[in-house]
Amino acid sequence: MSLGTHEFEFQLDNVFFKNIDGTEFQKGNIKVLLTVIKTAASHEFLFKFDGIIQVPCDRCLDEMDLPITTQGRLFVKFGKEFSEESDEIVIIPEEEGEINIAWFMYEFIALAIPIKHVHAPGKCNKTMTSKLRRHITHTLDEEYDSDEVDSSELDSDIESEEPEEVQTDPRWDELKKLIDNN
């Protein structure tokens, strides 16, 4: 590669994500624009990612599309042996003279995933949210703020259905009375 700026374009699809064998996600369709700036001493890789990955919804566990738009930068320098000096600087052996950037691309995308990923209200799996609603207690609504478990969101996900009558062990009922008195 000659000195100067070089541009490349990649399309990362399900095959790429399955082959990379990452734990965060394994499906998606991401367009990558890569600009490589080569100088005498190093290579600077500038990544731009735009597309969609599929992750499980935190609430209903069904797959959901998550839009990803992010950027990343990586400096590659030559040295005696491979090492990662920091999150952005990698040293590769001069004899090899090449680097596989697949894992770096996966990591840049994984870092762009928000901590919380849930379907839009009304889009979660109705069966799962119904079961979740049946098992949620009133104390959860009091302990967590509305960002964690919003019962109105759950209600919008559930079609109207009659609650099942649940029989409980009388010993548990007595224990619950002790909790309610505190």
Convert the pLDDT of each residue in 52-92 to its tens digit: 999 999 888 899 999 999 999 999 988 887 777 777 888 88
- Name the band, by pLDDT with cuts 50, 70 and 90, for residue 11: very high
Question: What is the share, in percent, of the chain residues with pLDDT greater than 70?
Answer: 83
Q: Is 0.75 topped by the overall pTM?
A: no
CA angle 115, 120, 146 (to 5 degrees): 65
